[in-house]
Structure 1
Amino acid sequence: MDLPFRFGVSAFTTMPWSFERDVAHYAQAGVDAIEVVEAKLDDDRLAEQMDAITAAGLTISGVQPRVRTFFASRMMPDPPALEDRVAALRGTIERLAKFAPGVPFITNTGAHPKGDMAEAMRVVARELGELGRIAADHGVLMALEPLNPSSVNVESAIWTIDQALDVIHDSGSGAVGLCLDYWNIWQQDDVEGAIARAGDRIFTVQASDWRTPRSFADRIVPGDGEIPLDRLLAATHATGYDRPYVIEIFSNDVADSLYDGDLDAVITRSRDGLARAWMAA
Protein backbone atom coordinates (compact mmCIF):
# COMPACT_ATOMS: atom_id res chain seq x y z
CA MET A 1 0.00 0.00 0.00
CA ASP A 2 1.33 3.43 -0.96
CA LEU A 3 1.41 5.84 1.95
CA PRO A 4 0.23 9.47 1.72
CA PHE A 5 3.30 10.53 3.71
CA ARG A 6 7.00 9.74 3.75
CA PHE A 7 7.75 6.94 6.19
CA GLY A 8 10.98 6.92 8.15
CA VAL A 9 12.58 4.69 10.75
CA SER A 10 15.12 5.70 13.37
CA ALA A 11 18.09 3.41 13.77
CA PHE A 12 17.25 3.47 17.49
CA THR A 13 14.21 1.35 16.58
CA THR A 14 16.53 -1.40 15.39
CA MET A 15 19.31 -0.75 17.88
CA PRO A 16 20.52 -4.40 17.93
CA TRP A 17 21.26 -4.18 14.19
CA SER A 18 24.38 -2.76 12.60
CA PHE A 19 24.19 0.33 10.40
CA GLU A 20 24.60 -1.85 7.31
CA ARG A 21 21.72 -4.09 8.34
CA ASP A 22 19.56 -1.05 9.06
CA VAL A 23 20.08 0.28 5.55
CA ALA A 24 19.52 -3.07 3.81
CA HIS A 25 16.40 -4.02 5.76
CA TYR A 26 14.83 -0.56 5.65
CA ALA A 27 15.19 -0.52 1.88
CA GLN A 28 13.68 -4.01 1.60
CA ALA A 29 10.73 -2.90 3.75
CA GLY A 30 9.96 0.10 1.56
CA VAL A 31 11.07 2.67 4.14
CA ASP A 32 11.62 6.11 2.63
CA ALA A 33 14.02 7.65 5.15
CA ILE A 34 16.45 6.69 7.88
CA GLU A 35 17.14 8.64 11.05
CA VAL A 36 20.87 8.15 11.37
CA VAL A 37 22.31 7.29 14.80
CA GLU A 38 25.90 8.49 14.88
CA ALA A 39 26.86 5.87 17.47
CA LYS A 40 26.35 3.20 14.78
CA LEU A 41 28.75 4.84 12.35
CA ASP A 42 32.41 4.08 11.78
CA ASP A 43 34.40 7.33 11.63
CA ASP A 44 36.84 5.73 9.19
CA ARG A 45 34.05 4.75 6.78
CA LEU A 46 31.66 7.69 6.93
CA ALA A 47 31.63 8.44 3.22
CA GLU A 48 31.11 4.77 2.35
CA GLN A 49 28.30 4.40 4.87
CA MET A 50 26.54 7.61 3.81
CA ASP A 51 26.82 6.62 0.17
CA ALA A 52 25.15 3.31 1.05
CA ILE A 53 22.05 5.22 2.18
CA THR A 54 21.66 6.88 -1.20
CA ALA A 55 22.48 3.67 -3.07
CA ALA A 56 19.68 1.89 -1.19
CA GLY A 57 17.16 4.53 -2.29
CA LEU A 58 16.80 6.05 1.19
CA THR A 59 16.98 9.66 2.29
CA ILE A 60 18.06 10.92 5.71
CA SER A 61 15.28 12.26 7.94
CA GLY A 62 17.54 13.36 10.80
CA VAL A 63 20.78 12.74 12.63
CA GLN A 64 21.06 11.65 16.27
CA PRO A 65 24.49 12.86 17.42
CA ARG A 66 26.68 10.64 19.55
CA VAL A 67 26.57 13.35 22.24
CA ARG A 68 23.21 15.05 21.79
CA THR A 69 22.53 16.82 25.10
CA PHE A 70 24.02 20.02 26.48
CA PHE A 71 24.00 18.87 30.09
CA ALA A 72 24.84 15.33 31.13
CA SER A 73 21.99 12.83 31.28
CA ARG A 74 21.36 9.30 32.46
CA MET A 75 21.68 7.92 28.93
CA MET A 76 24.65 10.09 28.06
CA PRO A 77 26.70 11.08 31.14
CA ASP A 78 30.02 11.71 29.38
CA PRO A 79 31.71 14.03 28.83
CA PRO A 80 30.52 15.90 31.93
CA ALA A 81 31.59 19.44 30.99
CA LEU A 82 29.22 21.66 28.99
CA GLU A 83 31.97 22.97 26.74
CA ASP A 84 33.06 19.45 25.82
CA ARG A 85 29.51 18.43 25.00
CA VAL A 86 28.97 21.49 22.82
CA ALA A 87 32.26 20.77 21.08
CA ALA A 88 31.11 17.21 20.41
CA LEU A 89 27.83 18.46 18.91
CA ARG A 90 29.73 20.89 16.74
CA GLY A 91 32.05 18.10 15.63
CA THR A 92 29.09 15.96 14.60
CA ILE A 93 27.72 18.77 12.46
CA GLU A 94 31.08 19.36 10.84
CA ARG A 95 31.59 15.64 10.09
CA LEU A 96 28.13 14.71 8.84
CA ALA A 97 26.51 17.83 7.40
CA LYS A 98 27.96 17.36 3.93
CA PHE A 99 26.23 13.98 3.71
CA ALA A 100 22.85 15.29 4.96
CA PRO A 101 22.05 18.71 3.44
CA GLY A 102 18.93 20.31 4.89
CA VAL A 103 18.60 17.64 7.57
CA PRO A 104 17.90 18.37 11.28
CA PHE A 105 20.46 17.33 13.87
CA ILE A 106 18.48 16.34 16.96
CA THR A 107 19.32 17.53 20.46
CA ASN A 108 17.77 17.92 23.89
CA THR A 109 18.75 19.85 26.97
CA GLY A 110 19.99 17.09 29.24
CA ALA A 111 19.51 17.45 32.99
CA HIS A 112 20.90 20.42 34.91
CA PRO A 113 23.11 19.06 37.72
CA LYS A 114 21.24 21.13 40.33
CA GLY A 115 17.81 20.80 38.80
CA ASP A 116 17.84 24.46 37.74
CA MET A 117 15.52 24.21 34.77
CA ALA A 118 15.43 27.97 34.19
CA GLU A 119 19.21 28.17 33.91
CA ALA A 120 19.25 25.09 31.70
CA MET A 121 16.84 26.77 29.29
CA ARG A 122 18.94 29.95 29.22
CA VAL A 123 22.17 28.05 28.64
CA VAL A 124 20.71 25.82 25.94
CA ALA A 125 19.16 28.81 24.13
CA ARG A 126 22.55 30.55 24.14
CA GLU A 127 24.44 27.49 22.91
CA LEU A 128 21.80 26.66 20.31
CA GLY A 129 22.12 30.16 18.92
CA GLU A 130 25.78 29.52 18.17
CA LEU A 131 25.22 25.95 16.97
CA GLY A 132 22.38 27.21 14.80
CA ARG A 133 24.82 29.56 13.10
CA ILE A 134 27.27 26.70 12.55
CA ALA A 135 24.48 24.44 11.29
CA ALA A 136 23.28 27.10 8.86
CA ASP A 137 26.83 27.61 7.60
CA HIS A 138 26.95 23.87 6.89
CA GLY A 139 23.50 23.75 5.26
CA VAL A 140 21.73 21.79 8.02
CA LEU A 141 19.33 22.42 10.91
CA MET A 142 19.10 21.86 14.67
CA ALA A 143 15.97 20.31 16.21
CA LEU A 144 15.34 20.60 19.96
CA GLU A 145 13.30 17.80 21.52
CA PRO A 146 11.22 18.19 24.69
CA LEU A 147 11.05 14.87 26.54
CA ASN A 148 8.31 13.18 28.54
CA PRO A 149 7.83 14.38 32.16
CA SER A 150 9.20 11.00 33.29
CA SER A 151 12.59 12.22 32.02
CA VAL A 152 12.69 15.58 33.83
CA ASN A 153 15.93 16.11 35.75
CA VAL A 154 17.09 12.74 34.41
CA GLU A 155 17.34 13.39 30.67
CA SER A 156 15.76 16.79 30.18
CA ALA A 157 14.89 20.18 31.66
CA ILE A 158 11.91 20.71 29.32
CA TRP A 159 8.84 18.58 28.76
CA THR A 160 6.37 20.67 26.74
CA ILE A 161 6.26 21.94 23.20
CA ASP A 162 5.86 25.50 24.49
CA GLN A 163 9.00 25.30 26.64
CA ALA A 164 10.90 24.09 23.61
CA LEU A 165 9.47 26.93 21.53
CA ASP A 166 10.64 29.43 24.16
CA VAL A 167 14.19 28.07 23.93
CA ILE A 168 14.02 28.03 20.14
CA HIS A 169 12.85 31.65 20.10
CA ASP A 170 15.53 32.73 22.54
CA SER A 171 18.22 31.06 20.44
CA GLY A 172 17.60 33.74 17.82
CA SER A 173 18.39 31.28 15.04
CA GLY A 174 16.13 30.41 12.13
CA ALA A 175 18.08 27.17 11.78
CA VAL A 176 16.79 25.95 15.18
CA GLY A 177 13.42 24.23 15.33
CA LEU A 178 11.46 21.47 17.03
CA CYS A 179 11.78 17.71 17.13
CA LEU A 180 8.19 16.63 17.78
CA ASP A 181 8.11 13.17 19.39
CA TYR A 182 4.53 12.09 20.02
CA TRP A 183 5.53 9.69 22.83
CA ASN A 184 7.07 12.59 24.71
CA ILE A 185 4.40 15.26 24.31
CA TRP A 186 1.05 13.51 23.89
CA GLN A 187 -0.02 14.09 27.53
CA GLN A 188 0.60 17.85 27.38
CA ASP A 189 -2.47 20.07 27.91
CA ASP A 190 -3.85 21.40 24.62
CA VAL A 191 -1.30 19.39 22.70
CA GLU A 192 -3.01 20.01 19.36
CA GLY A 193 -2.97 23.76 20.03
CA ALA A 194 0.72 23.54 20.92
CA ILE A 195 1.46 21.72 17.66
CA ALA A 196 -0.38 24.48 15.80
CA ARG A 197 1.70 27.11 17.64
CA ALA A 198 4.88 25.31 16.59
CA GLY A 199 3.84 25.65 12.96
CA ASP A 200 6.70 25.69 10.51
CA ARG A 201 9.30 25.30 13.27
CA ILE A 202 8.58 21.56 13.33
CA PHE A 203 11.69 20.13 11.69
CA THR A 204 11.14 16.40 12.33
CA VAL A 205 8.39 14.15 13.73
CA GLN A 206 8.84 10.88 15.62
CA ALA A 207 6.13 8.35 16.45
CA SER A 208 5.66 5.27 18.60
CA ASP A 209 3.02 4.35 21.16
CA TRP A 210 2.54 4.45 24.91
CA ARG A 211 1.88 2.00 27.66
CA THR A 212 2.67 2.86 31.27
CA PRO A 213 6.44 2.37 31.14
CA ARG A 214 8.09 -0.63 32.80
CA SER A 215 11.55 0.90 32.30
CA PHE A 216 13.20 4.08 31.07
CA ALA A 217 12.92 2.70 27.53
CA ASP A 218 9.54 1.03 26.97
CA ARG A 219 7.89 2.25 23.79
CA ILE A 220 5.64 0.15 21.61
CA VAL A 221 4.43 -0.07 18.01
CA PRO A 222 2.08 2.70 16.79
CA GLY A 223 -1.51 1.57 17.20
CA ASP A 224 -0.76 -0.79 20.10
CA GLY A 225 -1.09 1.79 22.87
CA GLU A 226 -2.89 4.85 24.18
CA ILE A 227 -1.60 7.78 22.11
CA PRO A 228 -4.31 9.45 19.96
CA LEU A 229 -2.09 9.32 16.90
CA ASP A 230 -4.89 10.27 14.53
CA ARG A 231 -5.41 13.61 16.28
CA LEU A 232 -1.69 14.34 16.52
CA LEU A 233 -1.10 13.47 12.88
CA ALA A 234 -4.01 15.70 11.80
CA ALA A 235 -2.70 18.61 13.88
CA THR A 236 0.82 18.16 12.50
CA HIS A 237 -0.36 17.88 8.90
CA ALA A 238 -2.39 21.08 9.34
CA THR A 239 0.83 23.02 10.05
CA GLY A 240 2.07 22.20 6.55
CA TYR A 241 4.69 19.73 7.79
CA ASP A 242 5.88 17.67 4.81
CA ARG A 243 9.00 15.89 6.05
CA PRO A 244 9.06 12.16 6.97
CA TYR A 245 7.15 10.72 9.91
CA VAL A 246 9.77 8.63 11.69
CA ILE A 247 9.25 5.57 13.89
CA GLU A 248 11.46 5.86 16.96
CA ILE A 249 11.13 3.01 19.46
CA PHE A 250 13.28 2.26 22.50
CA SER A 251 12.74 -1.13 24.14
CA ASN A 252 15.23 -1.94 26.90
CA ASP A 253 14.98 -3.64 30.29
CA VAL A 254 11.52 -5.12 29.80
CA ALA A 255 10.63 -8.81 29.62
CA ASP A 256 8.88 -8.43 26.26
CA SER A 257 11.48 -6.18 24.66
CA LEU A 258 10.84 -5.57 20.98
CA TYR A 259 14.61 -5.62 20.54
CA ASP A 260 14.55 -9.35 21.30
CA GLY A 261 11.95 -10.13 18.65
CA ASP A 262 11.43 -9.78 14.91
CA LEU A 263 12.52 -6.24 14.09
CA ASP A 264 11.44 -6.57 10.46
CA ALA A 265 7.94 -7.19 11.80
CA VAL A 266 8.26 -4.15 14.07
CA ILE A 267 8.94 -2.00 11.01
CA THR A 268 6.01 -3.47 9.07
CA ARG A 269 3.60 -3.25 12.00
CA SER A 270 4.70 0.32 12.71
CA ARG A 271 4.12 1.31 9.11
CA ASP A 272 0.65 -0.25 9.15
CA GLY A 273 -0.24 1.29 12.51
CA LEU A 274 0.79 4.75 11.38
CA ALA A 275 -1.14 4.31 8.12
CA ARG A 276 -4.30 3.34 10.03
CA ALA A 277 -3.96 6.40 12.25
CA TRP A 278 -3.46 8.60 9.20
CA MET A 279 -6.60 7.23 7.57
CA ALA A 280 -8.56 7.75 10.79
CA ALA A 281 -7.36 11.35 10.85
Structure 2
Amino acid sequence: MIEGFPFRFGVNEFTTQPWSFEEDVAHYAALGVEAIEICEAKLDPERAVEQMEAARASGLAVSAVQPRIRTFFGSKMAPQPEAVEQRVAAFAESLKRLAPHAEGASFVMNTGAPSNGNMQRCLDETVHHLRRLAPLATDLGVKIAIEPLNPTSINVETAIWTVDQALDLLDAVGHDSCGLCLDYWNIWQQPDCDGAIRRAGHRIFVVQASDWRTPLSAMDRLVPGSGAIPLGSLLHATWEAGYRGVCTLEIFSSDVPDSLYAQDLENVIRHSRQGLERAWKDHASKVQRAA
Protein backbone atom coordinates (compact mmCIF):
# COMPACT_ATOMS: atom_id res chain seq x y z
CA MET A 1 0.00 0.00 0.00
CA ILE A 2 1.36 3.43 -0.96
CA GLU A 3 1.30 5.67 2.13
CA GLY A 4 1.60 9.19 0.70
CA PHE A 5 -0.25 10.69 -2.26
CA PRO A 6 1.48 8.97 -5.20
CA PHE A 7 0.67 11.31 -8.09
CA ARG A 8 2.30 14.58 -9.05
CA PHE A 9 -0.13 17.46 -8.60
CA GLY A 10 -1.07 19.62 -11.59
CA VAL A 11 -3.52 22.39 -12.36
CA ASN A 12 -5.51 22.94 -15.55
CA GLU A 13 -5.77 26.63 -16.48
CA PHE A 14 -9.57 26.50 -16.68
CA THR A 15 -9.37 26.23 -12.88
CA THR A 16 -8.01 29.77 -12.62
CA GLN A 17 -10.05 31.42 -15.35
CA PRO A 18 -9.76 34.98 -13.90
CA TRP A 19 -5.94 34.89 -14.02
CA SER A 20 -3.85 35.58 -17.10
CA PHE A 21 -1.47 32.94 -18.44
CA GLU A 22 1.43 34.72 -16.76
CA GLU A 23 -0.42 34.83 -13.45
CA ASP A 24 -1.19 31.13 -13.74
CA VAL A 25 2.48 30.28 -14.17
CA ALA A 26 3.64 32.54 -11.35
CA HIS A 27 1.00 31.38 -8.86
CA TYR A 28 1.28 27.68 -9.68
CA ALA A 29 5.06 27.73 -9.31
CA ALA A 30 4.86 29.64 -6.01
CA LEU A 31 2.31 27.13 -4.66
CA GLY A 32 4.49 24.13 -5.43
CA VAL A 33 2.27 22.85 -8.25
CA GLU A 34 4.30 20.37 -10.25
CA ALA A 35 2.60 20.45 -13.65
CA ILE A 36 0.44 22.72 -15.77
CA GLU A 37 -2.27 21.69 -18.21
CA ILE A 38 -2.16 24.48 -20.75
CA CYS A 39 -5.33 25.90 -22.28
CA GLU A 40 -4.53 27.29 -25.70
CA ALA A 41 -7.34 29.84 -25.34
CA LYS A 42 -5.22 31.57 -22.69
CA LEU A 43 -2.20 31.94 -24.96
CA ASP A 44 -1.51 35.11 -26.92
CA PRO A 45 -1.15 33.92 -30.55
CA GLU A 46 1.69 36.41 -31.04
CA ARG A 47 3.58 35.21 -27.96
CA ALA A 48 2.54 31.59 -27.58
CA VAL A 49 6.02 30.11 -27.95
CA GLU A 50 7.46 32.59 -25.44
CA GLN A 51 4.66 31.81 -22.99
CA MET A 52 5.07 28.04 -23.33
CA GLU A 53 8.79 28.35 -22.70
CA ALA A 54 8.18 30.61 -19.69
CA ALA A 55 5.96 27.91 -18.16
CA ARG A 56 8.72 25.32 -18.52
CA ALA A 57 11.37 27.74 -17.25
CA SER A 58 9.32 28.20 -14.08
CA GLY A 59 9.83 24.52 -13.25
CA LEU A 60 6.33 23.43 -14.26
CA ALA A 61 6.05 20.31 -16.39
CA VAL A 62 3.61 20.64 -19.29
CA SER A 63 1.52 17.52 -18.71
CA ALA A 64 -1.28 18.20 -21.19
CA VAL A 65 -2.68 20.77 -23.59
CA GLN A 66 -6.28 21.76 -24.21
CA PRO A 67 -6.33 22.95 -27.85
CA ARG A 68 -8.48 25.91 -28.80
CA ILE A 69 -10.54 23.60 -31.04
CA ARG A 70 -10.61 20.19 -29.38
CA THR A 71 -13.69 18.55 -30.93
CA PHE A 72 -14.04 17.32 -34.48
CA PHE A 73 -17.79 17.93 -34.54
CA GLY A 74 -19.62 21.02 -33.29
CA SER A 75 -19.23 22.16 -29.71
CA LYS A 76 -21.16 24.62 -27.58
CA MET A 77 -17.89 25.75 -25.99
CA ALA A 78 -16.28 26.35 -29.40
CA PRO A 79 -18.95 26.45 -32.15
CA GLN A 80 -16.73 27.83 -34.92
CA PRO A 81 -15.63 26.69 -37.42
CA GLU A 82 -18.62 24.49 -38.24
CA ALA A 83 -17.12 22.16 -40.88
CA VAL A 84 -15.58 18.95 -39.55
CA GLU A 85 -12.53 19.15 -41.83
CA GLN A 86 -11.82 22.70 -40.67
CA ARG A 87 -12.03 21.62 -37.05
CA VAL A 88 -9.70 18.66 -37.65
CA ALA A 89 -7.28 21.01 -39.45
CA ALA A 90 -7.39 23.43 -36.50
CA PHE A 91 -6.58 20.60 -34.07
CA ALA A 92 -3.68 19.51 -36.29
CA GLU A 93 -2.36 23.06 -36.40
CA SER A 94 -2.43 23.23 -32.60
CA LEU A 95 -0.40 20.02 -32.51
CA LYS A 96 2.19 21.42 -34.91
CA ARG A 97 2.44 24.80 -33.19
CA LEU A 98 2.53 23.73 -29.54
CA ALA A 99 4.01 20.21 -29.52
CA PRO A 100 7.64 21.39 -29.89
CA HIS A 101 7.23 23.16 -26.53
CA ALA A 102 5.31 20.37 -24.78
CA GLU A 103 7.29 17.18 -25.45
CA GLY A 104 5.51 14.11 -24.14
CA ALA A 105 2.31 15.99 -23.33
CA SER A 106 -1.17 14.76 -24.22
CA PHE A 107 -3.46 16.91 -26.35
CA VAL A 108 -6.97 16.47 -24.99
CA MET A 109 -9.95 16.12 -27.32
CA ASN A 110 -13.46 14.72 -27.55
CA THR A 111 -15.87 13.96 -30.35
CA GLY A 112 -18.11 17.02 -30.24
CA ALA A 113 -21.87 16.91 -30.71
CA PRO A 114 -23.24 14.50 -33.34
CA SER A 115 -24.92 16.27 -36.25
CA ASN A 116 -28.68 15.61 -36.09
CA GLY A 117 -28.04 13.11 -33.30
CA ASN A 118 -26.17 10.75 -35.65
CA MET A 119 -23.81 9.27 -33.07
CA GLN A 120 -22.61 6.47 -35.33
CA ARG A 121 -21.40 8.90 -37.98
CA CYS A 122 -19.73 11.00 -35.29
CA LEU A 123 -17.88 7.97 -33.91
CA ASP A 124 -16.90 6.64 -37.34
CA GLU A 125 -15.50 9.99 -38.46
CA THR A 126 -13.72 10.53 -35.14
CA VAL A 127 -11.95 7.19 -35.61
CA HIS A 128 -11.08 8.11 -39.20
CA HIS A 129 -9.57 11.46 -38.24
CA LEU A 130 -7.69 10.07 -35.24
CA ARG A 131 -6.09 7.47 -37.50
CA ARG A 132 -4.85 10.37 -39.64
CA LEU A 133 -3.64 12.46 -36.69
CA ALA A 134 -2.03 9.73 -34.59
CA PRO A 135 1.11 9.39 -36.76
CA LEU A 136 1.49 13.18 -36.72
CA ALA A 137 1.35 13.20 -32.92
CA THR A 138 3.98 10.46 -32.81
CA ASP A 139 6.27 12.38 -35.15
CA LEU A 140 5.88 15.48 -32.96
CA GLY A 141 6.63 13.61 -29.74
CA VAL A 142 3.20 14.07 -28.16
CA LYS A 143 0.02 12.06 -27.62
CA ILE A 144 -3.73 12.48 -28.08
CA ALA A 145 -6.15 11.77 -25.23
CA ILE A 146 -9.87 11.38 -25.86
CA GLU A 147 -12.14 12.39 -23.00
CA PRO A 148 -15.57 10.87 -22.37
CA LEU A 149 -17.81 13.60 -20.96
CA ASN A 150 -20.63 13.55 -18.44
CA PRO A 151 -24.11 12.68 -19.77
CA THR A 152 -25.06 16.34 -19.20
CA SER A 153 -22.94 17.04 -22.32
CA ILE A 154 -24.43 14.44 -24.68
CA ASN A 155 -25.38 16.00 -28.03
CA VAL A 156 -23.84 19.27 -26.80
CA GLU A 157 -20.15 18.44 -26.54
CA THR A 158 -19.86 14.67 -26.93
CA ALA A 159 -21.10 11.37 -28.34
CA ILE A 160 -19.36 9.28 -25.67
CA TRP A 161 -19.91 9.39 -21.91
CA THR A 162 -18.33 6.25 -20.44
CA VAL A 163 -14.80 4.93 -20.12
CA ASP A 164 -15.79 1.77 -22.00
CA GLN A 165 -17.13 3.74 -24.96
CA ALA A 166 -13.84 5.62 -25.12
CA LEU A 167 -11.91 2.34 -24.97
CA ASP A 168 -13.99 0.92 -27.83
CA LEU A 169 -13.14 4.00 -29.86
CA LEU A 170 -9.45 3.66 -29.03
CA ASP A 171 -9.54 0.00 -30.05
CA ALA A 172 -10.96 1.06 -33.40
CA VAL A 173 -8.20 3.66 -33.87
CA GLY A 174 -5.55 1.13 -32.91
CA HIS A 175 -2.61 3.49 -32.38
CA ASP A 176 -0.36 3.75 -29.32
CA SER A 177 -0.26 7.55 -29.43
CA CYS A 178 -4.01 7.71 -28.71
CA GLY A 179 -5.26 7.13 -25.18
CA LEU A 180 -7.71 8.24 -22.54
CA CYS A 181 -8.30 11.44 -20.62
CA LEU A 182 -9.92 10.33 -17.37
CA ASP A 183 -11.89 13.16 -15.76
CA TYR A 184 -13.49 11.88 -12.58
CA TRP A 185 -16.26 14.53 -12.68
CA ASN A 186 -17.33 13.22 -16.07
CA ILE A 187 -17.21 9.48 -15.49
CA TRP A 188 -17.78 8.79 -11.78
CA GLN A 189 -21.48 7.92 -12.18
CA GLN A 190 -21.00 5.16 -14.77
CA PRO A 191 -21.60 1.60 -13.54
CA ASP A 192 -18.53 -0.08 -12.02
CA CYS A 193 -16.39 2.99 -12.54
CA ASP A 194 -13.46 1.52 -10.60
CA GLY A 195 -13.51 -1.57 -12.79
CA ALA A 196 -13.65 0.53 -15.97
CA ILE A 197 -10.62 2.50 -14.81
CA ARG A 198 -8.70 -0.70 -14.13
CA ARG A 199 -9.66 -2.01 -17.58
CA ALA A 200 -8.28 1.16 -19.15
CA GLY A 201 -4.83 0.32 -17.77
CA HIS A 202 -1.91 1.73 -19.73
CA ARG A 203 -4.24 3.67 -22.01
CA ILE A 204 -4.82 6.32 -19.34
CA PHE A 205 -2.81 9.35 -20.44
CA VAL A 206 -4.43 12.17 -18.44
CA VAL A 207 -6.22 12.27 -15.06
CA GLN A 208 -8.35 15.24 -13.98
CA ALA A 209 -10.10 15.75 -10.65
CA SER A 210 -12.69 18.02 -9.05
CA ASP A 211 -15.90 17.26 -7.15
CA TRP A 212 -19.63 17.05 -7.84
CA ARG A 213 -22.90 18.52 -6.76
CA THR A 214 -26.01 18.48 -8.91
CA PRO A 215 -24.93 21.26 -11.28
CA LEU A 216 -26.41 24.75 -11.00
CA SER A 217 -24.97 25.59 -14.43
CA ALA A 218 -23.03 23.91 -17.22
CA MET A 219 -19.85 25.10 -15.49
CA ASP A 220 -20.25 24.01 -11.87
CA ARG A 221 -17.58 21.93 -10.15
CA LEU A 222 -16.34 21.79 -6.59
CA VAL A 223 -13.06 21.57 -4.70
CA PRO A 224 -12.05 17.88 -4.34
CA GLY A 225 -13.32 16.45 -1.08
CA SER A 226 -16.32 18.78 -0.82
CA GLY A 227 -18.78 16.87 -2.99
CA ALA A 228 -20.22 13.47 -3.84
CA ILE A 229 -17.46 11.81 -5.92
CA PRO A 230 -15.74 8.82 -4.21
CA LEU A 231 -12.35 10.25 -5.09
CA GLY A 232 -10.35 7.92 -2.86
CA SER A 233 -11.70 4.82 -4.55
CA LEU A 234 -11.18 6.27 -8.04
CA LEU A 235 -7.64 7.40 -7.26
CA HIS A 236 -6.71 3.96 -5.97
CA ALA A 237 -8.27 2.28 -9.01
CA THR A 238 -6.21 4.61 -11.20
CA TRP A 239 -3.02 3.63 -9.39
CA GLU A 240 -3.95 -0.05 -9.67
CA ALA A 241 -4.49 0.46 -13.41
CA GLY A 242 -0.80 1.36 -13.64
CA TYR A 243 -1.08 5.13 -14.09
CA ARG A 244 1.94 6.99 -12.69
CA GLY A 245 1.45 10.47 -14.11
CA VAL A 246 -0.04 13.76 -12.98
CA CYS A 247 -3.36 14.21 -11.18
CA THR A 248 -4.63 17.52 -12.52
CA LEU A 249 -7.11 19.83 -10.84
CA GLU A 250 -9.75 20.95 -13.38
CA ILE A 251 -12.51 23.17 -12.03
CA PHE A 252 -15.14 25.20 -13.88
CA SER A 253 -17.19 27.62 -11.81
CA SER A 254 -19.26 30.04 -13.88
CA ASP A 255 -22.89 31.20 -13.67
CA VAL A 256 -23.30 30.02 -10.08
CA PRO A 257 -23.94 32.22 -7.02
CA ASP A 258 -20.97 30.85 -5.07
CA SER A 259 -18.44 30.81 -7.91
CA LEU A 260 -14.98 29.63 -6.93
CA TYR A 261 -13.66 32.10 -9.49
CA ALA A 262 -14.73 34.90 -7.12
CA GLN A 263 -12.81 33.38 -4.21
CA ASP A 264 -9.11 33.31 -3.31
CA LEU A 265 -7.83 31.06 -6.10
CA GLU A 266 -4.62 30.26 -4.26
CA ASN A 267 -6.74 28.83 -1.44
CA VAL A 268 -8.84 26.91 -3.97
CA ILE A 269 -5.66 25.24 -5.22
CA ARG A 270 -4.34 24.57 -1.70
CA HIS A 271 -7.63 23.13 -0.47
CA SER A 272 -7.97 21.02 -3.63
CA ARG A 273 -4.56 19.46 -3.14
CA GLN A 274 -5.37 18.76 0.50
CA GLY A 275 -8.72 17.24 -0.50
CA LEU A 276 -7.07 14.86 -2.96
CA GLU A 277 -4.42 13.82 -0.47
CA ARG A 278 -7.06 13.27 2.21
CA ALA A 279 -9.23 11.21 -0.15
CA TRP A 280 -6.27 8.97 -0.98
CA LYS A 281 -5.31 8.54 2.67
CA ASP A 282 -8.87 7.91 3.92
CA HIS A 283 -9.50 5.22 1.31
CA ALA A 284 -6.17 3.57 2.09
CA SER A 285 -7.09 3.48 5.79
CA LYS A 286 -10.49 2.02 4.96
CA VAL A 287 -8.90 -0.77 2.91
CA GLN A 288 -6.41 -1.54 5.68
CA ARG A 289 -9.18 -1.74 8.30
CA ALA A 290 -11.13 -4.15 6.11
CA ALA A 291 -8.12 -6.40 5.52
**TM-score, normalized by the shorter chain, greater than 0.5:** yes
1:12 partner SS: helix
For residue 233 of structure 1, the aligned residue among 227, 232, 235 is 235
For residue 261 of structure 1, the aligned residue among 263, 266, 276 is 263
TM-superposed deviation, 1:4: 3.2
- Distance, in Å, in 2 between the alignment partners of 1:46 and 1:116 is 36
Q: Which amino acid aligns with 1:106?
A: V
For residue 218 of structure 1, the aligned residue among 198, 217, 220 is 220
The reply to whether residue 21 of structure 1 matches residue 26 of structure 2 is no
> What does 1:1-281 correspond to in 2, within 5 Å?
3-281=5-283
Contact 2:63 2:104 in 1 (8 A): no
Contact 2:197 2:237 in 1 (8 A): yes
The superposition leaves residues 25-76 of structure 1 with CA deviations (integer Å, 9 ceiling, x where unpaired) of 0001110000000011112212221121122111011000000001111111
1:34 partner SS: strand
1:74 partner SS: coil
2:220 partner SS: coil
TM-superposed deviation, 1:201: 0.2
- Distance, in Å, in 2 between the alignment partners of 1:167 and 1:111 is 16
2:38 partner SS: strand
Contact 1:206 1:248 in 2 (8 A): yes
TM-superposed deviation, 1:102: 1.0
Q: Which amino acid aligns with 2:205?
A: F
Question: What TM-score do you get using the length of structure 1 for normalisation?
Answer: 0.98
- Distance, in Å, in 2 between the alignment partners of 1:94 and 1:47 is 12
TM-superposed deviation, 1:206: 0.1
| Aligned residues between the structures | 280
Q: Which amino acid aligns with 1:173?
A: H
Q: Between the two proteins, what is the percent identity of the paired residues?
A: 58
TM-superposed deviation, 1:3: 4.7
Q: How large is the RMSD of aligned CA atoms in angstroms?
A: 0.9
- Distance, in Å, in 1 between the alignment partners of 2:49 and 2:68 is 17
The superposition leaves residues 173-217 of structure 1 with CA deviations (integer Å, 9 ceiling, x where unpaired) of 110000000000000001111101110000000000000000001
Where structure 1 has 5 or more consecutive residues not aligned to the other structure, the ranges are none
Q: Which amino acid aligns with 2:196?
A: A
Q: Which amino acid aligns with 1:91?
A: E
- Distance, in Å, in 1 between the alignment partners of 2:115 and 2:261 is 31
Q: Which amino acid aligns with 2:212?
A: W
TM-superposed deviation, 1:152: 0.4
- Distance, in Å, in 2 between the alignment partners of 1:4 and 1:158 is 29
1:206 partner SS: strand
Q: Which amino acid aligns with 2:189?
A: Q
